């Protein structure tokens, strides 16, 4: 029997830096939503700065999500074995503390929780 040649075309995706991710699920799939949030300022405009948000969504079957989780956990362990424990950068810790204090002030004055920040 002759071997059949298969042509494979690969479409390269653009590199994507994810500042944030969310994970949701249904009975049949797990959805990973990776987000890149970029501040935009137009110096000609008197408007407040705006943000551009891009999404890359990955949908997995639950068994595939579990396999992905196992591979990610193994990779992070190997990384930490080679380079040391992964910790939040000091600047992120400071920003989170400031956001928490600001939310507390806003809640005390308004009586309701403030909207989440997309900056960390």
Per-residue pLDDT of the chain (120 residues; tens, 9 = 90+): 678 888 888 888 888 899 899 999 999 999 999 999 888 877 776 777 788 889 999 999 999 999 999 999 999 999 999 999 999 999 999 999 999 999 888 877 665 555 555 444
How far, in Å, CA of 95 to CA of 77, rounded? 27
Q: pLDDT value at position 110? A: 60
- Domains of the chain: which residue ranges? 14-60, 73-110
How far, in Å, CA of 70 to CA of 75, rounded? 9
The answer, as to whether pTM is greater than 0.85, is no
Query: Six-digit token pair at 32?
Result: 């990973």
Q: pLDDT value at position 53? A: 87
Q: pLDDT value at position 100? A: 92
Residue 58 host element (H or E): strand 50-60
Q: Which residues contact 35 (CB under 8 A, 6 or more apart)?
A: 18, 19, 20, 21, 22, 53, 54, 55, 118
Q: pLDDT value at position 117? A: 52
Q: pLDDT value at position 120? A: 44
Q: pLDDT value at position 4? A: 86
């Amino acid at each position: 029997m002759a071997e059949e040649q298969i042509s494979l075309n690969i479409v390269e995706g653009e590199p994507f830096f994810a500042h944030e991710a969310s994970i949701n699920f249904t009975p049949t799939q797990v959805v990973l939503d990776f987000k890149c949030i970029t501040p935009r300022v137009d110096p000609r405009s008197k408007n407040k700065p705006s943000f551009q948000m891009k999404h890359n969504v990955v949908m997995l079957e639950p068994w595939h999500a579990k396999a992905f989780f196992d591979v990610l956990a193994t990779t992070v362990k190997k990384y930490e074995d080679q380079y040391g424990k992964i910790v939040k950068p000091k600047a992120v810790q400071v920003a989170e503390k400031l956001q928490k204090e600001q939310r507390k002030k806003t809640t005390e004055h308004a009586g309701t929780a403030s909207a989440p920040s997309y900056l960390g």
